[in-house]
Structure 1
Amino acid sequence: MSVMLLVGLGDLGGLIATEAMQHGLTVVAMRRQPESLPGVKLIQHDATTPWPAIAEPITDVVLCVAPDNRTDDAYRRAYLDIAEQAMSWLRQQPLKAHLWLVSSTSVYGQQEGEWVNENSPRLPKRSTARILVAAEDFWLQSGQPCTMLRPAGLYGPGREMLLEVAKDGRQIVEPHPVYTNRIEISDCARAIVHLLLRRQQGLVTENAYNLADLAPARYCEVIDFLQQQLDITADKQHIVERSSKRVSAGRLQQTGFNWHYPDYKTGYLHIL
């Protein structure tokens, strides 16, 4: 029997739990809040403090905790403090579980529109992203069987930042190409469970996967498309100058994963 311990049960965690149960997995979830989902055994606990004993034989631990805010301290708590407690708990277990860390494509520091894959250097400029790299390295150097999951920007119901930009009527002007990388949130959850099920079937599991759709796109192109769909006239020029990269999901694609929303057009048309 496969039992997943899911640490964090927010938007993404809830979708992971639902998808896992649909595939017959038993889901135990640890979170601070008392709310849970039907069928999920809840352990109400702060994962930054020593973990309680868990009766179920855990085969996979998924760390899916979002920081409380964008500060370095919040990132340290979510990624490094929890890592230490998770490792301490894992070392006491009779069964060697596989650890899955939900990280981010922000670990790649490339800034000139380059393509990045899982073997690209992780040299980010932002301090929060450097904390993510430290958390990844904690696990990759731990001797614990583990996989880094690196989602691009999540979008979907309740995550409609680009729609808000489009509705604001901004005409995006890019002196240099600004690329965006994204994955629809239900596709992200499905990809994580897909990888977990492959591992349980004894198939080779790499130590990292980028979770993105198959079509990085220019920021101006995405906003223009949304404005066309919403019948909004862009009447205020808005210059966007920032560094960017293009994230390859080729490794995920090679596992046979099937996207419901392989590009931004299919994803946003579904939302609209």
Structure 2
Amino acid sequence: MTRRLFIFGLGFSGLEIAKLARAQGWAVAGTCTGEEKAGRLREAGIEAHRFDGSTALSTEAFGDTTHVICTIAPGESGDPALRSCRALLGRARWLGYLSTTGVYGSHDGGWVDETKPALPTQPRSQQRLAAEQAWRDLASETKASLHILRLPGIYGSGRSTLDRVRAGTAQRIVKPGQVFSRIHVEDLAASALKAMTREDGRVEIWNVADDLPAPNADVIAYACELLGRPVPPAIPWDEAAPTMSAMARSFYAESRRVRNDKLKRELGVVLRYPSYREGLAAILATEG
């Protein structure tokens, strides 16, 4: 049986999923916003199509796609893939959507699992929840399987705390009780591929996070240790907040720990990087 995966958004996460899927024998295609990047991806052997959300893909580009994953963030007008390509998407038998654990809202550092109600407070998380519902509506209409992967902060080679420490931009901001969950992009891709094997017509939600929520200040200190650099001084939240952008402050407005028990129990995911410690050490080893 032909297995063809189409990824809306061949960015940081989408490319990692594409790479792993190709290694496992999938036919893979996807989108990016610029023709220059699409050309580079084609040269690398990835079938890429330019897509800016304003016009639908051609039937030829979508081809005989069986599985779809959308990594594109929604906007005020909704999910661009659904808005422009709904008729094409209705032909797939499996749908995947990369959402955010921000849909749970703040839990004052408490644990959240997939049974917790979604009560987002940030506008971007509210848009994600609306997009989740739109994908649910499509799956209900077409009887396709839908898997929603709720993600915390994603990191990996070229996009990690190591890069910020090297650049001298890492600040150890300390806000009492504040913790964040994370996931290495390789573990995200492996989880997505596991989910793609479940084609039972059901809607499933998975928290894709590692085992160790932690304050950003701890992660920065460990990155400095790995790089042999001095740990920057701790900056109290009250001092840091006035100089931060609104976007940066919004990340510190919520605190929660994300449970991944269902991911490991029901999908059988074994995390390659169960915490930021293994993840950062592996990135440094690869880069070194």
Q: Which amino acid aligns with 2:271?
A: W
SS at match of 1:128: helix
SS at match of 1:103: strand
Q: CA deviation at 1:41?
A: 2.5
Q: Would the aligned equivalents of 2:79 and 2:131 in 1 still touch at CA under 8 Å?
A: yes
1:223 paired residue among 217, 220, 224: 220
Which is further off, 32-41 or 129-138?
A: 32-41
Corresponding position of 2:83: 84
Q: Which amino acid aligns with 1:60?
A: H
Q: Would the aligned equivalents of 2:147 and 2:203 in 1 still touch at CA under 8 Å?
A: yes
Alignment of 1:172-187 (within 5 A): 172-174=173-175, 176-187=176-187
Which is further off, 126-135 or 7-16?
A: 7-16
2:68 paired residue among 61, 64, 74: 61
Matched, 1:117 2:129: no
With over 3 angstroms needed to count, the CA separation of the structure-2 counterparts of 1:162 and 1:132, relative to structure 1, is farther
1:249 paired residue among 247, 251, 260: 260
Q: Would the aligned equivalents of 2:173 and 2:235 in 1 still touch at CA under 8 Å?
A: yes
For the residues of structure 1 that align with 2:170 and 2:112, how far apart are their CA atoms?
Answer: 32
Kindly provide the CA deviation profile for residues 107-135 of structure 1, in whole angstroms up to 9, marking residues without a partner as x: 11023011111121111111111011100
Corresponding position of 2:158: 158
Which is further off, 224-233 or 133-142?
A: 224-233
Which is further off, 34-43 or 159-168?
A: 159-168
Q: Which amino acid aligns with 2:212?
A: A
Q: CA deviation at 1:188?
A: 1.1
Corresponding position of 1:70: none
Matched, 1:40 2:46: yes
**TM-score normalised per structure 2:** 0.79
Corresponding position of 1:269: 281
Superposition RMSD on alpha carbons, in Å?
2.5
Q: Which amino acid aligns with 2:133?
A: D
For the residues of structure 2 that align with 1:171 and 1:212, how far apart are their CA atoms?
Answer: 22
**TM-score normalised per structure 1:** 0.83
Alignment of 1:94-133 (within 5 A): 96-133=92-129
For the residues of structure 1 that align with 2:256 and 2:131, how far apart are their CA atoms?
Answer: 22
Kindly provide the CA deviation profile for residues 74-121 of structure 1, in whole angstroms up to 9, marking residues without a partner as x: 7235x5232222323234x3xx42111111111110230111111211
For the residues of structure 1 that align with 2:233 and 2:47, how far apart are their CA atoms?
Answer: 50
For the residues of structure 1 that align with 2:13 and 2:158, how far apart are their CA atoms?
Answer: 12
Q: CA deviation at 1:9?
A: 1.0
Q: CA deviation at 1:49?
A: 1.8
Corresponding position of 1:71: none
Kindly provide the CA deviation profile for residues 10-69 of structure 1, in whole angstroms up to 9, marking residues without a partner as x: 12111111111111111122333232254432333334422311363211111122x4xx
Q: CA deviation at 1:234?
A: 3.6
With over 3 angstroms needed to count, the CA separation of the structure-2 counterparts of 1:234 and 1:27, relative to structure 1, is closer
For the residues of structure 2 that align with 1:28 and 1:225, how far apart are their CA atoms?
Answer: 37
Q: Would the aligned equivalents of 1:30 and 1:47 in 2 still touch at CA under 8 Å?
A: no
For the residues of structure 2 that align with 1:104 and 1:140, how far apart are their CA atoms?
Answer: 16
Question: What percentage of aligned pairs have identical amino acids?
Answer: 26
Please, which runs of 5 or more residues in structure 1 have no aligned partner? 68-73
For the residues of structure 2 that align with 1:17 and 1:235, how far apart are their CA atoms?
Answer: 37
Corresponding position of 2:245: none
Corresponding position of 2:206: 209
Corresponding position of 2:246: none
Please, which runs of 5 or more residues in structure 2 have no aligned partner? 239-251
From the two aligned structures, give the one with the greater helix fraction.
2
Q: CA deviation at 1:218?
A: 2.9
Q: Which amino acid aligns with 1:233?
A: P
SS at match of 2:22: helix
For the residues of structure 1 that align with 2:258 and 2:13, how far apart are their CA atoms?
Answer: 20
